Amino acid sequence: MLQIGDQFDHFQIRQHIAQGGMSDIYRAYDLLSGKEIVLKVPDKMTIGDPAQYERFQRELEVMHTLSHPAIQRGLGSGRFNNTPYLVTELIDGESMRDYMRRAAPVSPETAAALIRKIAEGLAHCHDHGIVHRDLKPENILITSDGQPVILDFGLALTKHAHRVTYANLSGAAGTPDYMAPEQIEGQRGDKRTDLYALGTMFYELLTGRTPFSGDNTLAIMAQHLKGLVPRLDREQPGISSKLAAVVARSLQRDPDDRYPDMQTLVHDLDHLDEVDESILEHATGPASAAPFWRRFPFVLPIGFAVLLLLAMILLAFGLQTLHK
């Protein structure tokens, strides 16, 4: 790890900002440009991983393709003492994770306004053939004037680039909280995969918790694949069925049942009164509104056990009468 005051290539380290999924993030002074920037270097777990250099190259390439207030700007990349690094603009903001911890649940208006701005940034990505695929509150910063900025294009899928999966990146097994079902099943995903992750964050802004939870990674993944699609108007006071329908449509398990793109989602947010609520008939409410065998999962196995026992008793009884 670099220390404050260290010089790394033509950068002077000023502050350790964060430890990301696979990297250490520093605020540093660029001796060439005379500006403060953000320097991303592999953390000690991934420092020898050849995929890291490729990841930073790709990240820079993606950022260079894009230009939008909701997308972080890339400045450069390189290698120093065999350590690859990435340089990005410094964003003065709070991570969406910290914001949620501090403020969620937020009002429907606040949540919708923030989600809308993120959706616009993602629409810009998708229009350029880029799918982010790792959207989560840790990868979004919110500036003091309320502008969200999407970071971390390290797992992004581009039209041309070959496939990078979690398996290529040793340290990358992050939280499954925002992973779409098709991603959990190992598919590469498309813009609707980002839409699902955005829907998850929408839900979390409105309630303070993620829609699919569990005690461990596998349990959470199973919930994404098989859990009930939540119905927010029954779960959280003050949420209209129109808004609940928007969130439910973003969180549909089958990508074909979600909004086809960010623009359609934004359109619904702008015209909430026109939203089709029929999707809520398929969406289920909180767990308590689930059919009884889901609420009491032990009923089925116990029922089977009792039936089996009965069958065995009857069989024994039948055999006995046969012998006589």
Ligand X SMILES: Nc1ncnc2c1ncn2[C@@H]1O[C@H](COP(=O)(O)OP(=O)(O)O)[C@@H](O)[C@H]1O
Q: Identify what 95 binds: Mg ion, ligand X, none; CB under 5 to 8 Å per kind.
A: ligand X
Q: Helices (DSSP H) in the chain: which residue ranges? A: 50-65, 96-103, 108-127, 181-184, 191-207, 217-226, 232-235, 241-250, 262-270, 292-295, 299-323
Provide the 3-class DSSP secondary structure of residue 143.
Answer: strand
Q: Smallest distance, Å, CB 123 to Mg ion? A: 21
Site mask for Mg ion (CB under 5 A), range 83-122, x = bound: ----------------------------------------
| Interaction between residue 87 and ligand X (CB under 6 A) | no
Total residue length of the chain? 324
**Part of the chain binding Mg ion (CB under 5 A), chosen from 41-49, 58-66, 78-86, 150-158:** 150-158
Q: Is the dihedral of CA 270, 68, 121, 160 positive or negative?
A: positive
Nearest alpha-carbon partner for 202 in 110, 294, 322: 110
Closest distance between ligand X and the C-beta of residue 91, in Å?
A: 4
**Catalytic site includes residue 134:** yes
User: What span, in angstroms and rounded, lies between the C-alpha atoms of 76 and 240?
Assistant: 45
Between CA 64 and CA 72 the distance in angstroms is: 10
One-letter identity of residue 60: L
When asked if residue 23 is in the footprint of ligand X (CB under 6 A), the reply is: yes
| DSSP characters over 34-87 | TEEEEEEEE-TTTTT-HHHHHHHHHHHHHHHH---TTBPPEEEEEEETTEEEEE
Q: Which is nearer to ligand X, 96 or 279 (CB)?
A: 96
Of 62, 115, 119, 151, which one interacts with ligand X (CB under 6 A)?
A: 151
Based on the number of CB atoms within 10 Å of its own CB, is 305 exposed (0-12), middle (13-18) or buried (19 or more)?
exposed
- Judged by CB, which is closer to ligand X: 170, or 241? 170
**Active-site entry in 6, 9, 127, 134:** 134
Residue 103 touches which of Mg ion, ligand X, none (Cβ within 5-8 Å per kind) = none
| 52 contributes a contact to ligand X by CB under 6 A | no
Please state the closest distance from residue 89 (CB atom) to Mg ion, in A.
16
Choose between 21 and 211: whose C-beta lies nearer to Mg ion. 21
134 vs 233, which CB is nearer to Mg ion? 134
Q: State how beta strands 7-8 and 23-30 pair.
A: unpaired
- Residues recognised as catalytic: 134
Residues near ligand X (CB under 6 A) are 17-18, 20-23, 25, 38, 40, 72, 88-91, 95, 138-139, 141, 151-152, 154
